Structure 1
Amino acid sequence: MAKKQNLTEGFLSVDFDEITRIFADLRPTVLKVATVEEFVAMIQKATNIIFLKYFEFPQSRLYKPEELGFVVQHVMDCINNITPAHIPYESISVNGKWMLRPLSDEEKSAPKQKPS
């Protein structure tokens, strides 16, 4: 049986409204978290999605509470689809649901197209 080509293959479904709600609930706790790894693990546990692994945070060092504010803002920007250019994924909207797909190494190294 031939497999039908799935247009959303490789994309992860993301419910931004749900994540934003969960994130608002977690925010006071997040600011007490010591490392980005713990922070990402907490969000992943709460949301049951793994897309945060595609966010490029400097890994494996302790963050001060004031620095975690930057991490929180960075993730919120991504959740709100204000995606910084260095984040290696593309997003599409399918039937009103956002989908994320990590970029391949070739896509990451390709020159960015500027909207005209």
Structure 2
Amino acid sequence: MKIKLKKPFNKGEVTVTEFDIDFVKLTGYQIIEAEVEARGMGETSPNPLFSSRGLAIIAAKASGHIPEDIIGLSAPDFLMVTNTVSNFLYGWVLPGLIQEPSEG
């Protein structure tokens, strides 16, 4: 999934104009690692994956960037990227909690 940035940024000699987030390439190991990293960065929420910091770390892992790249985005870009990750995570969590109406 490509997210076009409203405010591109420079990384070395390259101008980053979009993030290509590939959730399919993420592994369970990387998700667990993201939780550990978020806690190591001072995250204290009960589920650090769903905190802004945790979402930024997952976005970094899914896009090949570092968390600081995500955290340093302009507010609109940061919110677009982290909300995309949140929608991905909740899309996996919520369907199992929602019961389909029974027929008959």
TM category (shorter chain) comes to: 0.3 to 0.5
Higher relative contact order (CA 8 A, sep 6+): 1
Using the size of structure 1 for normalisation, the TM-score is 0.32
| Larger proportion of helix | 2
